[in-house]
A and B are shown apart, each in its own frame.
Chain A
Amino acid sequence: MKLSGSEIIIESLKKEGVDYIFGYPGGAVLHIYDALFAAKDIKHVLVRHEQGATHAADGYARACNKPGVVLVTSGPGITNCVTGIATAHMDSIPMIVISGQVSRHYVGSDAFQEADATGITRPICKHNFLINDRESIAETFRKAFIIATTGRPGPVIIDIPKDLTDPNIKINFEYKKNIKIRSYKVKTNECEDKIQDAAKLICSAKKPMIYSGGGVVLGKASTELTKLTKLLNFPITNTLMGLGAYPSSDSQFLGMLGMHGTYEANMAMHNCDVLLAVGARFDDRVTGDTKQFCPKAKIIHIDIDPSSISKIIEVDHSLIGNTKKILKKLITYTEKHKKTIDREAINKWWKKINSWQKKKCLSYSKSSKVIKPQAVIETLHKISKGKSFVTSDVGQHQMWVAQYYKFDKPNRWINSGGLGTMGFGLPAAIGAQLAFPKEQVICVTGEASILMCIQELSTCLQYGLPVKVINLNNRYMGMVRQWQEFFYEGRYAMSYMDAIPDFAKLAESFGHIGMVIDKPENLEKDLTTALGYKNRLVFVDVITDQTENVYPMIVNGKGHHEMHLAPSANEDIELA
């Protein structure tokens, strides 16, 4: 079969099973768009800004565990993608970004819309390619998909000069699925002995703790993690990225850990004697002061990335490889050794944990005058029965979703955990909604974040995406204000929003339904109405308490046992 470079790109994407491309056309990719125009099996989603394309592809990938694909032009096309690529990279999301480049004879001449795409993206992607000849297009695409989706996943950029996509020059096309990349191998150190040793150590624990992260979601190991945890009857906590991998409604789940984690999760971390870390990377927002992290614990770390092992915290036992496979084997060995578990000690440990839970660290003062943001999330959870896909932006609202929307399934909670990208939520919801057209997708955002990618409301109209946007509007960059209240004596430098648009009208001008909720008594009724619209995007502007803070909180540089609790938390309970 003889094909042009552009046709080879489209055929390669088909062979990889790509159903959606998120993109924006421009000079350097017009040949590719022309070939795409003729393609029936691939649907293109036209975003309104390239950053939106990357977040939408990212949201798609997080929702359905398939790589998201982006197509943008050279110069500003690819530079606009930088934030989205970095977001995906920090959270290990598989993504393919195809960027046009000026024709080869212009490269290096400061041509119109020329930017060094591979140079700019090098530090924020898993790998990138600049294609130099037509013959290597197909092979490069196959390599890119292998690299993006295997091992620790991540974004891969393919930069392709315009002349290589010329529709008039055709070459033989063959797509070889089985290719080897000499310098790329997914490393493992798993062997039966090591896993058996880990199982023995786990079963010897008197105060065990399981701490799992995004790696369980990415590794599709939620079932195995749940099975192992149930088998052991041990307490478990999830990181921000790992929420949903273990059902939040289960009694063994202690909530999220870390800076805004629960009292019981953080105290259990601080006091445990054996810690099983699964697909988590000991991020600073999780560990707090590393010198005080799990001071009494032997640590077992399961991860697919060798460089995650002992990067932040020295671990005693590492199992490197596919999380699902390792957990399966760990279950087998645990079954073998489980009679050695000191059940009396575990019961005592649970009693201690129950005493921490009595703190009720997530309680907040209810109000009949102002809408409490926590109440909005709890109400959302109630109405949607906890079954929605929820995307978020970054800040207080993100933490409140993490704390109060109890996710029971993986892939349902979609947020920018590593990079902390404001503007992520709405485009990510586009991706999730396209991946699951029949499911409810809610974007919880704030009035500051939403304005960073508000233009994607237009994309939602074009493709009829019935996303529900819940805007927690407190007229502040809430998390910035919170830190200024705590650490800058209440000097709210530039953290207020002085000229907020009328969001309901703004949404209407984009062709959607706009609503305002400003009274606590209307919250449940109006949210129910909003979520009830099956085929329309509804933008709900919820006017919330301006001064509410996210609790509990571990201040930077403090240990897990040094949390600030909400003023409303149960102070009568004795500290550990």
Chain B
Amino acid sequence: MNIDKRHIISILVENEFGSLSRIAGLFSARGYNIHCLSVAPTSDDSISRMTLVTNCSDTKASQLMKQLDKLVDVINVKDLTDETHIEREMLLLKVKSTLKQRDELKRLTDIFRARIIDVTDTTYTIELTGPTEKILAFIDSLGKIKIIEQVRSGALGISRGSESLEIKK
């Protein structure tokens, strides 16, 4: 109960001025960390959906959920951690690619089902989508290849099956 673990939380929030600050502010005010956070509008322009990853105990997570739910702008909130769900993250990676390394990079890209989306005479830019572990495994596999720039979207989460995060408030 009281051991810290990774929690992935989905939040539906009014797409209003200050909503993001309210949520980010709640985390800092109450001493929670935000490992990663992504925000974008939903099919309804007036609502944004956030996916947030934090490390905390189950007890703290349950308090966190209540505090999030208490925010006036929050429409619905759900901890996806303990239910079956799908997670995806996107990685954009710019790596040094000398003539010698090009074949190896192409092979790794294929193995991980990543894509090379930009090429210069000295660099490759690679796009990869998948669960966080896959992203990390890919970065690991690069070995000595020099990473010039790395951009990650942070995790996105959705529950499996017909379950959905409703606008129920």
Contacts and interface: CB of A to CB of B under 8 A. Distances in A.
A and B co-occur in one complex: yes
B161 interface: no
Contact of B18 (A122, A183, A185, A306): A122
Most chain B CB neighbours (cut-off 10 Å) among A181, A182, A183 = A183
Contact of A130 (B17, B62, B66): B17
Contacts of A127: 72-73
A183 B73 contact: yes
Contact of B63 (A128, A130, A311): A311
B169 A307 contact: no
A307 B77 CA distance: 14
A184 B14 CA distance: 11
A123 interface: yes
B70 interface: yes
B74 interface: yes
Given A181-B72, A182-B167, A183-B14, A119 B21 contact: yes
A305 interface: yes
A377 interface: no
Interface residues of A, number: 22
Contacts of B169: 182-185
A118 interface: yes
A127 B167 CA distance: 20
Interface in A100-153: 118-119, 122-123, 126-128, 130, 132, 147
Interface string A175-217: 0000001111101000000000000000000000000000000
Contacts of A187: 69
A419 to B, nearest CB: 14
A98 B98 CA distance: 63
Please report whether the interface of chain A is mostly helix, strand, loop or mixed according to DSSP: loop
B67 A184 contact: no
B8 interface: no
B70 A306 contact: yes
A126 B72 contact: yes
A118 B18 CA distance: 8
Interface string A305-321: 11101110000000000
B72 A307 contact: no
Nearest to B64: A307
Nearest to A143: B72
A120 to B, nearest CB: 11
A305 B63 CA distance: 12
A307 B67 contact: yes
Contacts of B17: 118, 130, 132
Given A132-B17, A183-B74, A310-B62, 16 more contacts: A118-B17, A119-B18, A119-B21, A122-B21, A123-B25, A127-B72, A128-B18, A130-B18, A182-B75, A182-B169, A183-B75, A184-B169, A185-B169, A187-B69, A307-B67, A310-B63
Interface of B: 13-14, 17-18, 21-22, 25, 29, 62-63, 66-67, 69-70, 72-75, 167, 169
10 contacts: A123-B25, A147-B72, A182-B14, A182-B75, A184-B72, A187-B69, A306-B69, A307-B66, A307-B70, A311-B63
The 3 lowest CB-CB distance pairs between A and B, nearest first, are: A307-B66, A127-B72, A183-B75
